[in-house]
Structure 1
Amino acid sequence: MARRTDGDSVRKAQAGGAARDDLQSVAVIAATPRDAALLVSAEVAGAEISVICVGEGGKEDRAVLDRALDGAVRRGCRAVGSPVFLRGEGGDSREALVRELRELRPSWVRLTDPDPERVTYDPETGIPVHDEPPRLAAAALDALAAARTHQLESGVPVFVDCRRAAADEKLGAASASRYPRTANWLTEGFDGRLSAFLPSAAGVVRWFQPEAGRPEWQGPELLPGPRLMPGLSVVRDLHGFVHLLALRRTARKDGGDDVEIVHAAQYGTGRPLTPWHSLGSPNPGDRYKSREVGFPAAGFDRAGNFFVFVRNFGHSVSYRRQAPDGVWTTPWQHLRGQRVADDLVAVTTPQGEVELLARTRESGAVVRWYRSGPDGDWTEDRNVPFSPRPGSMAAGPEPGTVLFRDLLTNEPGIWWPGAPAPVPLGGSEGEGPLGGAPGVEVDGWAYTLLVRGGPGGMGVVGAYAEGRPDQGVWWNEAGASSPLTAAALRARTGMVTLASLTAGAQLAIAHRESRTGGFEFGSWYTA
């Protein structure tokens, strides 16, 4: 196993010596130094970076990585040691990766895309054609397996971000994620107790309150499950039960892997999940097509029907429906229309109907699908008046609304069907999706609370008069920075809770100081 020393002493001096508690411990794992350099270049201030390369690459490749690390240090990161090169040691690269992760003990791992999109498709061979060399996906899959093994051994969560190589670097790391960053990951059960769910290398991790309204939390605990990819959709049904959706990877007997959509539910806070149930794939039985499936979005209508949507291999939308009695009533159905990217968001309107919004693949605009009623056909609407930054759309806190960041300005905005234009919300700093909570009372008036990432990952909280975002939003720092967007929830008791993840990957909680007064929050504490 080779380690390089040139350039390392310079980076250590610039970084200021010993590691600091306020830095993220990040392991960048890639096939070659040049591939690693792309991931390093996306890191913002506050990262403590270690680099592991499966292959050593050439002299120029290593120089590119050195320049990327030096640039990261100038941005406020810390480079730990020198890059490690595994090729040449012999043996299994996954085993070598596990040994490195045991030594580094990172909380965060950055990888390239394990299932990159094709640029074209050869119908004669049935094989997609990619403009990225196969080594990138192979290295990412080895690193995912190693991170899973390390987490299972250590019992400490490891959070993974897989980044598309072809993404626009100017839009930020959140816009390059293969698996969308989980929004609205803090939920309330029917018993009033809160739970937080996040995806990790080894599966879903959960924190929960043993007693409603109390500051104590239990977790993180790894929920049993199959080999999931590092993404998660969290949806609450009409009864307060929590539903989780993810992608599962399974090995095929004839070689390669299948990727399918899976679903599990929590029917009681702190209780075990149901077994993960496979919903299959819109492109079943094809080892190449199933691997390119997008990430699922889902929602419940007023009758209790559960709709799951996903981008299929052809870049159209497919969906399945589960009836209120729990029976999946349809196989995967195809919604014809615009070709879409991975950004799918399901919202439930004030009338209780589920609608889908998706960012189009070619233009970056948004297309919407809706029904005229419970038994109506799906209709496509191409007149949605905004273009979002990739990875920024999320269901808004008020029924039927969608939050996003503008593609050109990065300013957050909100839109709902029927509105002639989106409402800008102010505050163009930060990246990633927004979240929020409706029905927050202040002096007898109802407000909607918003949360977003701000400068340097600092959490920012805003509020507007419920139903009137056009009257303006008042933004204030939340007092905690995080690699992920904070989550907000108003419990049935009126208590408002913010949840965040620290640089050290611990759950941090803050509560609103008054249940009817202003928007001041108490001190953050780790759960």
Structure 2
Amino acid sequence: MALRSRGTSQQGPVRSGGIRTAPSPAAPVVAAEDGSPTVTAWLRLGKDGRLSAYAPAEGGVARWTENAPGGAWTGPELVAPGTGLQSHLSVAQGSDGYVHLAALRHTPMQDGGTWTELVHAIQYQSGRPVKSWAVIGSPYSRKAWEDGLRMGHPSVGVDSSDNVQIVVRNAFGGVSARGQDPSGKWRGWDDLNGNGADRSISIVAAQGGRMVIHAPCDSGIHVYERPKGDAEFAWRDEPIEGTPATGTVNGVETGEDGRVTFFLRDAASGELRAWRDEEPAVSIGGKGSGPVALLRHEIDGVDCMVLAQRDAEGRPAIAVYPTEQEAAGVTWTPVGEACAGAPALAVDGEGRVVLGVFTPEGRLRIARQRTDTAGLAFAAWQQI
């Protein structure tokens, strides 16, 4: 994979059984050649109150982990090692705390050609080994390996019952999906139809097993929705209006009955837009690049949305407003120096909002919410 930014491990050896071993250092790849992020939603809180961060790396996945809730970090260490892994990583987490990773893998074939398949790995606990990559496969046979090469980047989601769903833009511009049933067994591939989809599609999970897939295309954004866990995805007949920049459609649950607010960055203006249900999209300004990071969190007793983006100057910028009140206006505030890839948001083990970014050199930087002042203000940046 093309390397744009690197970091080196600063952690000491760790104990594995009765043998003391040193984890392998990792070289993170946080942005592609064109500057687009290779991973989003990469900052996650474990059940033990420790945060972990993830990024694609040469030969696997780079992971940073807090030593204790709110404490110092170790990493980046190389986890989920593998050959042929492509440069985009999708990260999701269930209510059980398990972190799910999905990627595409290329393998040379003996008779020529390149076999493309989706792979999936799980981290059960913070800082612990990641389970080896499991093959999810391909919607195509080996005879049709050239079709596999035209697949897009996979997107992984976890529903409210902790069942995993992986979706991918297929070779013909439609959407292919494969999910787990409650027993953990992977079902067969579903062809959800459609055509002309962009390379990057998104999947968003909400309560009650609801999941929504967005596949941008030339005629708008195709939407596929599953209202509950035991239902099938249904394709809306008409795409919704919008011309999002590649890889910028995402969403978060903001209301009752699994209501989700979705966001995209307009390809022409660079501004962010938000919409939900059948309401028209609302511009929320914030010219910049890449997707916006999303976090719903209570601040000073108010249910708020916290957004983070890489602004037009390449710096991280933050916006905060009452949930579902985009129409009242959104103000963006730069909060640091130039960053690469996409920012990420999380709540740490002490209930503080945490903003994470990667430096242009691939180093991890963290800023935590101050608790000695009203509103959302951040303490000094911590470079890992």
Q: What TM-score do you get using the length of structure 1 for normalisation?
A: 0.64
- Out of 219, 232, 244, the residue aligned to residue 388 of structure 1 is 244
The separation in 1 between residues aligned to 2:380 and 2:81, in whole angstroms, is: 35
Structure 2 counterpart SS, 1:470: helix
Cα offsets for 1:61-112 (capped at 9, x unmatched): xxxxxxxxxxxxxxxxxxxxxxxxxxxxxxxxxxxxxxxx9xxxx736xxxx
How many corresponding residue pairs?
360
Structure 2 counterpart SS, 1:287: helix
Alignment of structure 1 residues 150-169 onto 2, 5 Å: 155=25, 157-159=27-29, 161-162=31-32
Structure 1 counterpart SS, 2:327: helix
Q: Where does residue 317 of structure 1 map in the other structure?
A: 175
Q: Where does residue 11 of structure 2 map in the other structure?
A: none
Is the contact between residue 304 and residue 323 of structure 1 (CA under 8 Å) also seen in structure 2?
no
Q: 1:427 to 1:107 in 2, by over 3 A?
A: closer
Q: Where does residue 66 of structure 2 map in the other structure?
A: 209
- 1:107 equivalent to 2:12? Answer no
The separation in 1 between residues aligned to 2:201 and 2:372, in whole angstroms, is: 34
Cα offsets for 1:499-526 (capped at 9, x unmatched): 1111222111111112872111111121
Please identify which structure carries the higher helix content.
1
- 1:412 equivalent to 2:268? Answer no
Give the C-alpha shift of residue 204 in structure 1.
0.7
Cα offsets for 1:35-75 (capped at 9, x unmatched): xxxxxxxxxxxxxxxxxxxxxxxxxxxxxxxxxxxxxxxxx
Give the C-alpha shift of residue 491 in structure 1.
3.2
Q: 1:526 to 1:183 in 2, by over 3 A?
A: same
Structure 2 counterpart SS, 1:288: helix
Is the contact between residue 198 and residue 206 of structure 1 (CA under 8 Å) also seen in structure 2?
yes
Any gaps of 5 or more consecutive residues in structure 2?
7-23
- Out of 131, 138, 146, the residue aligned to residue 288 of structure 1 is 146
- 1:195 equivalent to 2:93? Answer no
Structure 2 counterpart SS, 1:289: helix
The separation in 2 between residues aligned to 1:283 and 1:392, in whole angstroms, is: 27
- Out of 222, 225, 229, the residue aligned to residue 370 of structure 1 is 225
Structure 2 counterpart SS, 1:187: strand
The separation in 2 between residues aligned to 1:243 and 1:470, in whole angstroms, is: 34
The separation in 1 between residues aligned to 2:292 and 2:243, in whole angstroms, is: 16
Alignment of structure 1 residues 167-316 onto 2, 5 Å: 173-174=34-35, 181-214=38-71, 216-227=72-83, 228-285=85-142, 286-316=144-174
Q: Where does residue 456 of structure 1 map in the other structure?
A: 313
Give the C-alpha shift of residue 435 in structure 1.
0.3
Q: 1:160 to 1:300 in 2, by over 3 A?
A: closer
Alignment of structure 1 residues 504-523 onto 2, 5 Å: 504-514=361-371, 517-523=374-380
Structure 2 counterpart SS, 1:484: strand
The separation in 2 between residues aligned to 1:335 and 1:156, in whole angstroms, is: 37
Greater shift after overlay, 299-308 or 220-229?
299-308
The separation in 1 between residues aligned to 2:114 and 2:173, in whole angstroms, is: 20
Q: Where does residue 284 of structure 2 map in the other structure?
A: 425
Q: 1:289 to 1:194 in 2, by over 3 A?
A: same
- Out of 488, 494, 497, the residue aligned to residue 354 of structure 2 is 497
Letter paired with 2:74: Q
Is the contact between residue 406 and residue 412 of structure 1 (CA under 8 Å) also seen in structure 2?
yes
Give the C-alpha shift of residue 432 in structure 1.
0.7
Give the C-alpha shift of residue 412 in structure 1.
0.6
Cα offsets for 1:165-214 (capped at 9, x unmatched): xxxxxxxx45xx5xx63111100111111000001232210001111122
Is the contact between residue 353 and residue 373 of structure 1 (CA under 8 Å) also seen in structure 2?
yes
Letter paired with 2:298: V
Is the contact between residue 453 and residue 486 of structure 1 (CA under 8 Å) also seen in structure 2?
yes
Identity of aligned residues (%): 31
Q: Where does residue 116 of structure 1 map in the other structure?
A: none
Q: 1:385 to 1:515 in 2, by over 3 A?
A: farther
Give the C-alpha shift of residue 351 in structure 1.
4.2
Cα offsets for 1:388-446 (capped at 9, x unmatched): 12232233474623221113221111222x23211211122x2111102111312x212
The separation in 1 between residues aligned to 2:73 and 2:380, in whole angstroms, is: 16
Give the C-alpha shift of residue 467 in structure 1.
2.5
Greater shift after overlay, 306-315 or 387-396?
387-396
Which of the pair has more CA radius of gyration?
1
The separation in 2 between residues aligned to 1:384 and 1:493, in whole angstroms, is: 40
RMSD of equivalent CA atoms: 2.3
Q: Where does residue 9 of structure 2 map in the other structure?
A: none
Q: 1:194 to 1:160 in 2, by over 3 A?
A: closer
Structure 2 counterpart SS, 1:481: coil
Structure 2 counterpart SS, 1:514: coil
Give the C-alpha shift of residue 384 in structure 1.
1.8
Letter paired with 1:289: D
Give the C-alpha shift of residue 336 in structure 1.
1.8
The separation in 1 between residues aligned to 2:53 and 2:253, in whole angstroms, is: 17
Any gaps of 5 or more consecutive residues in structure 1?
1-27, 30-100, 109-153, 164-172
Q: Where does residue 50 of structure 1 map in the other structure?
A: none
Is the contact between residue 397 and residue 437 of structure 1 (CA under 8 Å) also seen in structure 2?
no
Give the C-alpha shift of residue 158 in structure 1.
4.8
The separation in 1 between residues aligned to 2:195 and 2:108, in whole angstroms, is: 32
Q: What TM-score do you get using the length of structure 2 for normalisation?
A: 0.87
Cα offsets for 1:199-254 (capped at 9, x unmatched): 1232210001111122x001010114212111100000121110000111112111
The separation in 1 between residues aligned to 2:232 and 2:137, in whole angstroms, is: 23
Give the C-alpha shift of residue 337 in structure 1.
2.8
Give the C-alpha shift of residue 300 in structure 1.
2.1
Is the contact between residue 283 and residue 312 of structure 1 (CA under 8 Å) also seen in structure 2?
no
Please identify which structure carries the higher strand content.
2
Is the contact between residue 385 and residue 421 of structure 1 (CA under 8 Å) also seen in structure 2?
no
